[in-house]
Amino acid sequence: MSPEPNRTLSPTDTDWWRNAVFYQIYIRSFADGNGDGVGDLAGIRSRLPHLADLGVDALWITPFYPSPMADHGYDVADPRDVEPVFGDLAEFDALLAEAHALGIRVTVDLVPNHSSHDHEWFQAALAAGPGSPERARYLFRDGRGPDGSEPPNNWPSVFGGPAWTRVPDGQWYLHIFAPEQPDLNFGNPEVVADLEETMRFWLDRGVDGFRIDVAHGMAKPDGLPDMVPMDDTGLLDDHGPGDHRFDQDGVHVVHRRIRAVIDEYPGTMAVGEVWVSDDERLAQYLREDELQLAFNFKLLTAEWTPDGLRDAITHSLAAVEGTPAPACWVLSNHDRPRHVTRYGGGALGTRRARAAALLQLALPGAAYLYNGDELGMPDVDLPDHVLQDPMWFRSGGTERGRDACRIPVPWSGTEPSYGFSSGADTWLPMPDGWASLTAEAQRTEDGSMLSLYRAALELRASSPVFAGESVQWLQAPDGCVAFRRPGGLVCLVNLSGAPVPVPEGRVLLGSAPVDDGTVPDDTAVWLHA
Ligand code: NOJ
C-alpha cells in the first residue's frame, strides 16, 4: 500500500489537539526496521501507511534518546540526540517529514523529572563531590543517623525500595524511580534552562508537541520532609496529599516555563502525565498558562461497571470544567495492563474492549490510543526469565512489572515475530497463536477490531454529530450508560447482562451487530438522534 495523505496540516489550525486522536508508539514494541528485535524509528516510518489508514491525527513516540535502558528509555542520558538502537537524527527528521506529508502530527516524550545516571551532569556530580555546583543540579543530601548511614528521609521509590542511594563519599541522592534515574533539582535555574533548550531543540526540528513524563513530579518540598508511610510497591498509586514526592505547588512554576516555550511555537502543545486524582488539584495543571492537556486516567482505572464508567466520565469532565482544556481519554498505555485483559481477557475482554473503544471515541476532547489497541492486543503472561522491567528486579520479584503490556505489535504472517522484525527473536517474546491478531489479517475482515477502529475514526473525523464539548446524560435501561453530544451523537453502552432495545435514532456504528433492534450485552452503539 502506498501512503496517501488523508489530510493536510493547516498552520492556522492551532487548536488541532483539542479533539485529536493521538496514537502512542512504544518505540521498542511498534516495528523493527533493522532486524535486531527492537522497534525503532525506521520501523515507525515503514508503518506510517497503517497509521494514515487507521486515521489517527498525531503520534506520541516514547523516548528514543540515548539511554542505558534501565527503564527502557525513561532514563535519558542525552535528551537532544537519538539512541543508536532506535536510529539517528536524520532518521527522525525523515520520519517527521513523512508523517507530516501524510497529515499526521508528531509529538515526543519529554522526561524532565530525572536524567539517567549516565547523563554527563550526573557523572560530573559524582566526580565533583559534596557541596559542588555539579551536585546542586540533583538532590544530594547527607544521610541520617550518627554516621549518616540512614537515608535522608523515608520516601520510597515508585519501583520499590528506598528512593535514595548512597554514593562512595557518603552522601545520598534522590531517585523517585530507579537508582539509574536520579531526580533533577528544579530549584536550580540551570535545570529549567536545560529543559527549555531540549524543548527548543525538538520544536526547531518541527515536532508538534510533547508528552510530559511525571508532570506532577519535578518540584520537591523544602527540607524534603518524611511522608506518610505508604505501600511502596505501586508504580501508579493514588498519590494523595501525604505523598510529598508528587503534586507539590512548586510544580506549577515549571509548567508555566514549559508553556511559555510552547507559546513561542504556535500550533504546538503539551500533554501531561499527571497522576493526581483530586479533580481540583488536576485542574490546576490546566490553567491557561500551563498544560493544554492532562491525561484523564480515570477511564483507564475504572471497573467495567455502569457506575465505574459514569464516575470516570463525570470526574474527568468535572476536572476540566472551568479550565481552557478539553478532557483527554486513555484506555491503555505502556504502564498498565491492557484493557482487553483488564476487562476479562479472551472473547469477553475483546467484546468489552470493542465497546470501550466506541465509548472512548464518543467522548468530547482528545483521545489517546496505545499501539495495538486497534488490534485488540491483550497482555501476555511472560515467564520470569524474560522479564525486563526494573519493577520486577527492584521489588525482589514480587511485582511482575509492565512487560506484559509491552509485547511487540503483530503485523503479518502466522508465527513470531509476525512481521514485527525480520527475524523470529524479539526483545520480549511474542506468543504462538497470534495469526488472527495481525494487522494484515484484520485489515480486510469486516468485523475485526481494526475495521471497527477505522470506521470509528473516520466517522469521528467527518461527521458533524461529534460537535460540542459537553455531555448530556440520557435516561437508559438499568445497567446501561448513555449520553448525547450537542451535535447529535448518542452513545449507549450496555453492561446490563442482557440485550436492551436500540435507542431511537439512526444507527451509525455498533461494536457488535444491532440489526435485530437490540444492543447485546457488553456492546456500544453510536446513533444520530
Ligand atoms: C512514567 C512512564 O510512563 C513510565 O514508563 C516510567 O517508568 C516513569 N514515568 C519514569 O520515567
Give the ranges where 321-372 is alpha helix by DSSP (H).
Answer: 339-342, 346-362
Gap from CA of 28 to ligand 1 centroid (Å): 14
Annotated catalytic residue, options 15, 197, 264, 303: 264
| Domain residue spans of the chain | 120-174, 465-528
For residue range 249-260, list pLDDT tens digits in order.
999 999 999 999
Residue 223 has pLDDT above 80, yes or no: yes
Q: Are 71 and 390 in contact (CB under 8 A)?
A: yes
Name the pLDDT band for 230 (thresholds 50, 70, 90). Answer: low
Question: To which CATH superfamily is domain 120-174 assigned?
Answer: Oligo-1,6-glucosidase; Domain 2 (3.90.400.10)
Gap from CA of 183 to ligand 1 centroid (Å): 13
3-state secondary structure of 465: helix
Residue nearest to atom 10 of ligand 1 (CA): 74
Gap from CA of 398 to ligand 1 centroid (Å): 19
Gap from CA of 214 to ligand 1 centroid (Å): 7
d(CA 336, CA 405): 7
522: closest CA among 311, 339, 343?
Answer: 343
For residue range 392-415, list pLDDT tens digits in order.
998 899 999 999 999 999 999 999
d(CA 104, CA 127): 44
Residue 67 has pLDDT above 80, yes or no: yes
Q: Are 191 and 185 in contact (CB under 8 A)?
A: yes
Residue 232 has pLDDT above 90, yes or no: no
240: closest CA among 293, 281, 179?
Answer: 281
Choice from 28, 159, 214 to test ligand 1 binding pocket (greatest atom count within 8 A of CB): 214
Q: What is the pLDDT of residue 201?
A: 98
> Which atom belonging to ligand 1 lies closest to the Cα atom of 111?
11
Question: Cα 184 vs. chain centroid, distance in angstroms?
Answer: 22
Residue nearest to atom 4 of ligand 1 (CA): 335
- Please state which CATH number belongs to domain 465-528: 2.60.40.1180
Cell of 443: 485489515
Q: Is 196 a catalytic residue?
A: no
d(CA 209, CA 201): 12
Annotated catalytic residue, options 213, 273, 521, 522: 213
Rounded mean pLDDT, 308-325: 97
For residue range 436-488, list pLDDT tens digits in order.
999 999 999 999 999 999 999 999 999 999 999 999 999 999 999 999 999 99
Residue nearest to atom 2 of ligand 1 (CA): 213
Choice from 74, 114, 235, 276 to test ligand 1 binding pocket (greatest atom count within 8 A of CB): 74
Pocket-forming residues, ligand 1, beta carbon under 6 Å: 71, 74, 111, 177, 213-214, 273, 334-335
495: closest CA among 344, 297, 277?
Answer: 344
- Other C-beta atoms within 10 Å of 89: how many? 13
Rounded mean pLDDT, 20-39: 98
For residue range 184-222, list pLDDT tens digits in order.
999 999 999 999 999 999 999 999 999 999 999 999 999
Mean pLDDT of the chain: 95
Q: What is the pLDDT of residue 180?
A: 98
Cell of 14: 492551532
> Which atom belonging to ligand 1 lies closest to the Cα atom of 71?
7
Sheet containing strand 328-330, edge to edge, reads: 293-294, 269-272, 209-212, 105-110, 58-61, 21-25, 366-370, 328-330
d(CA 161, CA 43): 36
> Which atom belonging to ligand 1 lies closest to the Cα atom of 159?
7
Q: Is 264 a catalytic residue?
A: yes
Beta 489-494 vs 523-528: how paired, if at all?
antiparallel
Give the list of residues 6+ apart from residue 381 with CB closer than 8 angstroms, or none. Answer: 404
Position 65, amino acid = Y
Residue 141 has pLDDT above 80, yes or no: yes
> Which atom belonging to ligand 1 lies closest to the Cα atom of 114?
11
> Which atom belonging to ligand 1 lies closest to the Cα atom of 402?
5
- Other C-beta atoms within 10 Å of 186: how many? 23
d(CA 78, CA 455): 40
Gap from CA of 75 to ligand 1 centroid (Å): 9
Gap from CA of 417 to ligand 1 centroid (Å): 26
Residue 429 is given by DSSP the state P
